């Protein structure tokens, strides 16, 4: 039976049952849920809080692994749905598992594929916009079409591949099998993420299903771990997902249910507005054991989410919007976002962000990147992805340091006031 272990600095990291996996809280911010720690995985340690780099299809779009390391990327999150379709979880397994297959050789996560089954898994023949909208996390639009094409039942979901329209099925058990094959260090339990705008009766029904799926995910997970253990393979952790939309009673109930399953960590699911973190996320975190790591699933691209998430006890984040926006020309700076394609930058020979230490800002000007976009040159996508991903990874690293130094609240207030050009009130 896998046991989750919390290590102090002096104790050994490895345990008999879950070798090389554990979470160690090293610093706590007084009078707050914020903390800094170390997540130990078979592929290395992760300093938390951390922004996990999006590697949906076993690649960080437009960046090499060396470039990801150059921006201090510590871990990569790939997607089970995408990898089961292409190249197939069995191919990733044959390639030595996700970390080796993509030659990253560092810590990796997978999400369960549930969100994409409900959103992308219905986009076939709906045109590219359906896919693009889903990738932006536009659950409202995705939900509208999923009602027609993704068929959900008590035990799983029937859906169609967005690539070729073939009929497929995903269940809690198959999601677990696929994730163990893909071989990331941390897996997420299969869940349904209902639109926060859905009727309360639907949210209740969906939550009951998510809980049953989490229970089945854990049973299957334990079964597969026994098989792997006998074969001498390393542990892969399972984090359960808390849902419950914006309803306090359901959030708390969900957190208690998932916590009772004795999973290794938690994903807080939902589609959050910044103002919901002090409520929906906080309700869940209050009910969860303090000593296990927590991931914010479904954060938007709001810079303030990173501060609020840490403040309310989140340890790990991911969001693909930052690189996608970069590829579209939108760049983050300490004083807000700019669109580098705008004509005003044609003769601006300063860096994207004069305070930024990334490769792009150390070597290139806005005028040059503006030119690359105008000329449809691929280097534009790499330079902007490098910059935006560095921006967000580095910001979470600074937030982490402010928790350690005890300066979190001052840093949050001054940073967000400058970024939004007015005092920040969620």
- Residues noted as catalytic: 111, 318
Q: How far is the CB of 93 from Zn ion (least distance, A)?
A: 37
Residue 243 burial by CB count (10 A; 0-12/13-18/19+): exposed, middle or buried?
buried
Give the strands of the sheet with 22-28, arranged side by side. 22-28, 35-41, 44-48
Question: Whose Cβ is closer to Zn ion: residue 285's or residue 361's?
Answer: 361
Separation CA 19–CA 384 (nearest Å): 39
CA 124 distance to own-chain centroid: 25
Interface map 81-110 toward Zn ion (x if CB under 5 A): ------------------------------
Shortest distance in whole angstroms from residue 392 CB to Zn ion: 11
Of 81-89, 258-266, 313-321, 349-357, which part binds Zn ion (CB under 5 A)? 349-357
- The residue length of the chain stands at 426
When the beta carbons of 84 and 356 are compared against Zn ion, the nearer one is 356
The least CB distance from residue 365 to Zn ion, in Å, is 12
Of 39 and 392, nearer to Zn ion (C-beta) is: 392
Restricted to residues 354-383, the positions that interact with Zn ion (CB under 5 A) are 356, 358, 360-361
Opening angle at CA 79, ends 78 and 80, nearest 5 = 125
Total residues in contact with Zn ion, by rule CB under 5 A: 5
Q: Which is nearer to Zn ion, 179 or 385 (CB)?
A: 385
- Identify the burial level of 115 via C-beta atoms within 10 angstroms of its C-beta, where 0-12 means exposed, 13-18 middle and 19 or more buried: buried
Mapped to the 3 state alphabet, what secondary structure does 85-131 carry? HCCCHHHHHHCCCHHHHCCCCCCEEEECCHHHHHHHHHCCCCCHHHH
Site string for Zn ion, 240-279 (x = CB under 5 A): ----------------------------------------
- Report whether 270 contacts 193 (CB < 8 A): yes
Give the shortest CB-354-to-Zn ion separation in angstroms.
9
Min CB(322)–Zn ion separation in Å: 12
**Out of 162, 366, 387, 412, which residue is the one contacting Zn ion (CB under 5 A)?**
387
Contact 306, 395 (CB under 8 A): yes
Q: Hey, which residues between 173 and 202 contact Zn ion (CB under 5 A)?
A: none
SS3 351: coil
Q: Closest distance between Zn ion and the C-beta of residue 137, in Å?
A: 25
Q: Shortest distance, CB of residue 382 to Zn ion, whole angstroms? A: 12
Nearer to Zn ion, 305 or 353 (CB): 353
- 242 vs 361, beta carbon nearer Zn ion: 361
Q: Tell whether omega for the bond before 49 is within 30 degrees of 0, i.e. cis.
A: yes
Nearer to Zn ion, 288 or 356 (CB): 356
> Where do runs of H (alpha helix) occur along 312-425?
321-327, 359-363, 366-374, 379-405, 408-420
Residues 20-79 contacting Zn ion, CB under 5 A: none
SS3 category, 199: coil
The closest of 244, 56, 214 to 134, measured between CA atoms, is: 56
Residues within the interface to Zn ion (CB under 5 A) = 356, 358, 360-361, 387
């Amino acid at each position: 039976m896998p046991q989750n272990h919390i290590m102090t600095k002096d104790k050994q990291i490895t345990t008999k049952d879950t070798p090389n996996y554990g979470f160690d809280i090293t610093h706590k911010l007084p009078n707050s849920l914020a903390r800094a720690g170390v997540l130990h995985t078979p592929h290395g340690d992760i300093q938390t809080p951390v922004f996990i780099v999006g590697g949906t299809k076993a690649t960080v779009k437009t960046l090499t692994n060396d470039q990801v390391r150059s921006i201090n990327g510590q871990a990569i999150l790939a997607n089970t749905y995408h990898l089961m379709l292409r190249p197939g979880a069995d191919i990733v397994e044959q390639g030595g598992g996700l970390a080796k297959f993509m030659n990253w050789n560092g810590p990796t996560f997978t999400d369960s594929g549930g969100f994409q089954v409900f959103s992308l898994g219905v986009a076939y023949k709906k045109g590219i916009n359906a896919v693009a909208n889903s990738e932006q996390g536009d659950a409202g639009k995705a939900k509208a079409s999923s009602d027609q094409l993704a068929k959900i039942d008590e035990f799983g979901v029937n859906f169609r591949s967005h690539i070729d329209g073939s009929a497929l099925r995903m269940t809690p058990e198959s999601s677990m099998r696929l994730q163990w094959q893909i071989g990331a260090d941390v897996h997420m339990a299969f869940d349904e993420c209902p639109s926060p705008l859905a009727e309360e009766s639907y949210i209740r029904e969906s939550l009951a299903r998510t809980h049953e799926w989490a229970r089945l995910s854990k049973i299957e997970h334990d079964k597969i771990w026994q098989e792997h253990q006998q074969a001498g393979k390393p542990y892969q952790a399972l984090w359960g997902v808390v849902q419950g939309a914006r309803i306090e009673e359901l959030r708390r109930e969900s957190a208690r249910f998932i916590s009772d399953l004795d999973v290794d960590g938690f994903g807080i699911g939902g589609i959050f507005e910044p103002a919901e973190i002090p409520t929906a996320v906080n309700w869940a975190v209050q009910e969860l054991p303090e000593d296990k790591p927590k991931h914010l699933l479904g954060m938007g691209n709001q810079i303030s989410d990173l501060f609020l998430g840490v403040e309310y006890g989140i340890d790990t984040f991911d969001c693909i919007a930052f690189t996608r926006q970069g590829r579209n020309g939108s760049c983050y700076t300490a004083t807000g976002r700019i669109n580098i394609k705008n004509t005003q930058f044609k003769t601006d020979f300063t860096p994207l962000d004069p305070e930024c230490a990334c490769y792009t800002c150390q070597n290139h000007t806005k005028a040059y990147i503006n030119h690359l976009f105008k000329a449809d040159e691929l280097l534009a996508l790499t330079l902007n992805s490098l910059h935006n991903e560095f921006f967000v990874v580095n910001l979470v690293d600074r937030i982490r340091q402010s928790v350690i130094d005890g300066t979190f609240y001052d840093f949050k207030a001054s940073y967000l006031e400058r970024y939004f050009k007015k005092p920040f009130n969620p």
